[in-house]
Amino acid sequence: MDENLNKVIGERPEDIAPKKKPGKVGTFFFCLWVVVAVLLIQAGVSVVGIIPKAVSFLLESGGDTNVYAAKYTEYIQSSSILTILQFVAEIVCIVALSIWYYNGYVKKDKKNGVYKPFIQKFDGFKGVLFILCGCIATWGLAAILSQLVSMLLPSTESQLNEMLNLALGGNAVIGFITGALLAPICEELAMRGIILQRSKRAFGIIGCLVISAVLFGVLHANILQAIYVLPMGFFWGFVGYRYNSVIPCIFCHIINNFIGLVIPVAISPIIIFVVFGAVTAFIGAKAGYFNGAAYEMEESKNDN
């Protein structure tokens, strides 16, 4: 094995004994199950939380479905119940996914003596600049895709706004915390945490980035977001793969959710994408982040 590449990647105890490479089909369905599990937890929390009121309305209506439907709809639209339930659902998901991620990957790395905290792997200012510029660039590309999809399918934008308003608009403070902080943590634990870690040994760097990005779109359950989140998911996946950690991906997601609040709408997303994309590519190339030999060696080590 090349001595220089050994220094870059590092010899790890678990790489000494051969490992069986995971099957692609089984890995894909596992990743799909993670998405389904998150959606089921969120739906389950909502159903459990709404049942008491639903039963109450059913009893008050005396079996009249029209009266029941009117009471239920008015309650959903006029109260903050869905926002509160979304808040609770995100917390439940974070707890479940954190345990899953820790026991499935972090604990194993610690047991094998190869765990390294993210802060020790981070490469200072150039890493911050690369991530920040990359987040801005992919936000610009996502905005371009969003505009294109909205022009081709005008109803998708109104459907998304209605969905977000129901889920996050009931209470401004709770909705902000849920959308800007809790949702990024939950989604990254699932996508660039569990899914990326599981799929990279079976598919390699490109395959795992594509899978985590596409399933990230599926998780959002609407066509507009499913398309425009792809570039963000791909870039965040690259960051997670490079640092072998979900932590920088969580920061990327939180940064992205705040970018729309600070970038003036007068600035063209095309300009944002071109300028910051070029800066990101320059920094990445200069810092050796796109060193194919190192990633190929990492994948071959994962196959052992």
Report which of 19, 8, 14, 285 is spatially closest to residue 134, judged by C-alpha positions. 285
Q: What is the mean pLDDT of the chain?
A: 87
Backbone angle region of 10, left / alpha / beta, with phi > 0 → left and psi within -120 to 50 → alpha? left
What integer pLDDT is reported at residue 260 of this predicted model?
72
List all residues 6 or more positions away from 170 whose beta carbon is below 8 Å from its beta carbon.
79, 80, 81, 82, 83, 84
12 is a domain residue? no
Say if 5 falls within a structural domain.
no
* pTM reported for the whole predicted model: 0.86
Which pLDDT score is estimated for 258?
84
Give the range of the structural domain holding residue 194, as residue numbers without chain letter. 23-108+123-303
Is there a domain that residue 113 lies in?
Answer: no
Q: How many CB atoms lie within 10 A of CB 62?
A: 8
Q: How many domains does one find in the chain? A: 1
Decide if 114 is inside a domain. Answer: no
Q: Read off the pLDDT band of 269 (50, 70, 90).
A: very high
Whether 1 is covered by a domain: the verdict is no
d(CA 85, CA 76): 11
Indicate left, alpha or beta for 204 from its phi (over 0: left) and psi (-120 to 50: alpha): left
Question: Quick check: 141 pLDDT over 60?
Answer: yes
Interval 118-144 mean pLDDT: 92
pLDDT digits (tens, 9 = 90+) for 207-261: 999 999 999 999 998 999 999 999 999 999 999 999 999 999 999 999 998 887 6
Structure tokens at 90: 């995100």
Cα dihedral 199→203→207→212 (10° resolution): -10
Question: CA 97 → CA 92, 144, 174, distances in Å?
Answer: 9, 32, 21
Q: Do the domain assignments include residue 117? A: no
- Say if 233 falls within a structural domain: yes
In a domain, 73, yes or no: yes
- The pLDDT-based confidence of 297 (bands split at 50, 70, 90) is very low
Burial-class residue 136 by CB neighbours within 10 Å (0-12, 13-18, 19+).
buried
Q: What does residue 153 show for φ and ψ, rounded to 5 degrees?
A: -130, 80
Per-residue confidence at 293, pLDDT binned at 50, 70, 90?
very low
